[in-house]
Structure 1
Amino acid sequence: MSELYISFSSSQGKGTWILVRGDQIWLKDGNLPTGNKDVLPRFESDANAVKVGHWQGRPVWMIEWPDRNSDPEMGDFFSLRTLMESGDDALFQLAGRGVQLATFFRTHRFCGQCGARMRVVQDELATHCDHCQHRCYPRISPSMIVAVKKGKQLLLGHSPRHRAEVYSTLAGFTEPGESMEDTVRREVMEEVGLKVHNIRYISSQNWPFPHSMMVGFIADYHSGEIDIDFNELSDAQFFDVDALPLLPPHGTIARQLIDLAITEIRQQQ
Structure 2
Amino acid sequence: MNDGSPLRFVPGHIAPEDAGPAPRLFAFLRRELLVTADNALPSVAAIDALGIEATRTQYLGAWEDTHCFSAELPDDFKPPDGFATRDLRMLFASLEPELHALAGRAVQIVEWDRSHQFCGACGIPTEPSSSDRSRSCPDCAVPMYPRLSPAMIVAVERGDEILLGRGGNFPPGIFSVLAGFVEPGESAEEAVIREVYEETRIVVEDVRYFGSQAWPFPNSLMLGFTARYASGTVNTDHDEEMETADFFHVDNLPTTFPGNISISQWLMEDFVKRHGKNRD
- Per the TM superposition, whether the score is higher than 0.5 is yes
Q: Aligned residue for 1:50?
A: 58
The yes-or-no answer on 1:252 pairing with 2:250 is no
The Cα offsets for residues 96-145 of structure 1, whole Å up to 9 and x where unpaired, read as 00011011111112212322221233453211111221211112111110
Q: 1:211/1:40 Cα in 2 relative to 1: closer, same or farther (>3 Å)?
A: farther
The yes-or-no answer on 1:261 pairing with 2:271 is yes
2:55/2:73 contact within 8 Å kept: no
User: Structure 2 regions of 5+ residues with no counterpart?
Assistant: 1-11
Q: Aligned residue for 1:232?
A: 241
Q: Which amino acid aligns with 2:40?
A: N
- In structure 2, C-alpha distance between the alignment counterparts of 1:72 and 1:161, rounded to whole Å: 34
Which secondary structure does the structure 2 equivalent of 1:130 belong to? Answer: coil
How many positions carry a matched residue from both structures? 262
Q: Aligned residue for 1:181?
A: 189
Per-residue deviation at 1:89? 2.8
Per-residue deviation at 1:230? 4.5
Pairs within 5 Å for 1:152-171: 152-171=160-179
The Cα offsets for residues 59-114 of structure 1, whole Å up to 9 and x where unpaired, read as 22110111032344332111212333458332221110001101111111221232
Higher mean Cα deviation, 222-231 or 248-257? 222-231
The Cα offsets for residues 222-266 of structure 1, whole Å up to 9 and x where unpaired, read as 111111144222221212222222222311011111111222233
Q: Which amino acid aligns with 1:258?
A: M
Q: Aligned residue for 1:101?
A: 109
TM-score by length of 1: 0.87
2:29/2:77 contact within 8 Å kept: no
2:149/2:220 contact within 8 Å kept: yes
Q: Which amino acid aligns with 1:43?
A: I
Per-residue deviation at 1:186? 0.1
Q: Aligned residue for 2:154?
A: 146
1:87/1:250 contact within 8 Å kept: no
User: Structure 1 regions of 5+ residues with no counterpart?
Assistant: none
2:13/2:132 contact within 8 Å kept: no
2:206/2:228 contact within 8 Å kept: yes
The yes-or-no answer on 1:21 pairing with 2:63 is no
Which secondary structure does the structure 2 equivalent of 1:226 belong to? Answer: coil
- In structure 1, C-alpha distance between the alignment counterparts of 2:104 and 2:246, rounded to whole Å: 31
Q: Which amino acid aligns with 2:254?
A: P
- In structure 2, C-alpha distance between the alignment counterparts of 1:191 and 1:264, rounded to whole Å: 26
Higher mean Cα deviation, 225-234 or 186-195? 225-234
Which secondary structure does the structure 1 equivalent of 2:114 belong to? Answer: helix
Higher mean Cα deviation, 182-191 or 52-61? 52-61
Q: 1:140/1:14 Cα in 2 relative to 1: closer, same or farther (>3 Å)?
A: same
- In structure 1, C-alpha distance between the alignment counterparts of 2:268 and 2:81, rounded to whole Å: 41
State the percentage of identical aligned residues.
34
Q: Aligned residue for 1:81?
A: 89
2:40/2:94 contact within 8 Å kept: no
Which secondary structure does the structure 1 equivalent of 2:233 belong to? Answer: coil
- In structure 1, C-alpha distance between the alignment counterparts of 2:161 and 2:55, rounded to whole Å: 55
Q: 1:246/1:86 Cα in 2 relative to 1: closer, same or farther (>3 Å)?
A: farther
What RMSD over aligned residues (CA atoms) do the two structures have, in Å? 2.5
Q: Which amino acid aligns with 2:110?
A: A
TM-score by length of 2: 0.84
Per-residue deviation at 1:6? 7.7
Q: 1:34/1:152 Cα in 2 relative to 1: closer, same or farther (>3 Å)?
A: same
- In structure 2, C-alpha distance between the alignment counterparts of 1:185 and 1:142, rounded to whole Å: 15
Q: Which amino acid aligns with 1:261?
A: F
Q: Aligned residue for 2:223?
A: 215
Q: Which amino acid aligns with 1:79?
A: D
